[in-house]
Amino acid sequence: MSVSRRSFLQGAAAAAAGTLVAGTSEGMARTKAPGTAIDRERRRSPGGPVVVASGNGLPATAKAAEMILAGRDPLDAVVAGVNIVELDPDDHSVGYGGLPNEDGVVQLDSCVMHGPTHNAGAVAALQNIKTPSRVAQLVMERTDHVLIVGEGALRFAKAHGFREENLLTDAARRQWLKWKEARRGGDWLSPAGAEVEGDDQASASHDVMRGPGGAEFTYGTINCCGLDTSGDLAGVTTTSGLSYKIPGRVGDSPIIGAGLYVDNDVGAAGATGRGEAAILNCGSYTIVELMRQGRTPTEACLELLRRVVAHNVDPRLRRPNGEPDFGLIFYAVRKDGLYGSASIRSGRQFAVNSEGRNRLEDCAYLFEGQHE
């Protein structure tokens, strides 16, 4: 391991000096002496798996931890975990049932990264395949490339036996119609007397907001990173991306270093939320590098978010008080088992499986209030 115990403890001291709220196990330890968090976490996870995911990832963390304990590679484990969410029609941020682009077509992005081989695979703007993360894993394992997009990604998936399927569920189609009908000056009209707000089949994703006409709107995604009992790491990120996006728009989720990064000597990190901000700040790569320098996972995520805020100078993306007018959350797990997550705004949770327990924990955050 290239990060010494001493530098980890220095990182813990820096975290303890932080002023921001952290509801994670790491954050709760901030009231204790510097170093306590690290020592306690090491005692609590003596070689057991640690799996961290976005708030919609509880089934994924449970599945991945179970597979790691059964001796499976951590990449197979986290991909099997997120497959559950990709196949869930009620999660409108990922895979089957994801919200479509502006033409009503579901286009999916995903990437995987494997710590022991420092290899990765990704697909972007992939249509008609329910589990893009599995295609991304095949790009890693069965080509000497990292990223395949669009029609080429679909042909590659079909060559490996994936079946083309319609990914647009009725619920997602109704949200897309609401969005089209709410556009000012457009030709698409809501039925007379239609309800504007809400929908009785709301998405299961925690990242869903309400846009024009009450249509669901999301940058939602699932990220899942796992540490196995040998200290090996892997991660996956998968998404239907920004709702009603320009066809062909690609966010951070298939971009290694933005929506996901793994360094087997240090740790793993991933993102959900506004992908453009994660790309512009090399988010996941930078968090891993901050952990290499001794930051705790939570402090590394918070530091990256502070950079996002400082770089966000476009008035169209700022509130009158200068705060970003979008959501972004990072998740990280370090090679010693310490984990954390931080969000621009309060009230967000992330999924964790460690010490045999699967649960949601509160994300640390920069600003009070939701991003709706």
Cβ proximity of 12 and 334 under 8 Å: no
Q: Which position has the token pair 């009603």?
A: 244
Q: Is 312 in the site for ligand GLY (CB under 6 A)?
A: no
Which one of 219, 244, 326, 365 is in contact with ligand GLY (CB under 6 A)?
Answer: 219
Q: Shortest Cβ distance from residue 316 to ligand GLY (Å)?
A: 17
Report the residue number, 108 or 288, with the smaller CB distance to ligand GLY.
Answer: 108
Contact between 255 and ligand GLY per CB under 6 A: no
Tokens of 23: 């509801």
3-state helix, strand, coil in the chain (%, to 5): 35, 25, 45
| Residue 253 lies near ligand GLY (rule: CB under 6 A) | yes
State the Cα–Cα distance between residues 50 and 47, nearest whole angstrom: 9
326 contacts ligand GLY (rule: CB under 6 A): no
Nearer to ligand GLY, 18 or 150 (CB): 150
Smallest distance from ligand GLY to CB 240, Å: 8
Helices (H), the chain: 5-16, 25-28, 36-44, 58-69, 74-86, 132-142, 150-159, 170-181, 275-280, 283-292, 297-311
- As measured in angstroms, the least distance from the Cβ of 266 to ligand GLY is 23
Residue 63, Cβ neighbours under 10 Å: how many?
A: 24
* # of chain residues touching ligand GLY (CB under 6 A): 12
Q: Given the residues 24, 131, 221, 238, select the one marked as catalytic.
A: 221
Q: Please give the residues from 257 up to 286 whose contact with ligand GLY meets the rule CB under 6 A.
A: 272-275
- Which ranges of 312-369 does DSSP label H, i.e. alpha helix? none
Asked whether position 242 contacts ligand GLY by CB under 6 A, the answer is yes
Determine the interface stretch with ligand GLY among 45-53, 73-81, 183-191, 237-245 (rule: CB under 6 A). Answer: 237-245
Annotated active-site residue 221? The verdict is yes
Residue 251 near ligand GLY by CB under 6 A: yes
3-state secondary structure of 299: helix
DSSP state of 152: H
The footprint of ligand GLY (CB under 6 A) covers 219, 221, 239, 241-242, 251-253, 272-275
Catalytic positions, please?
221
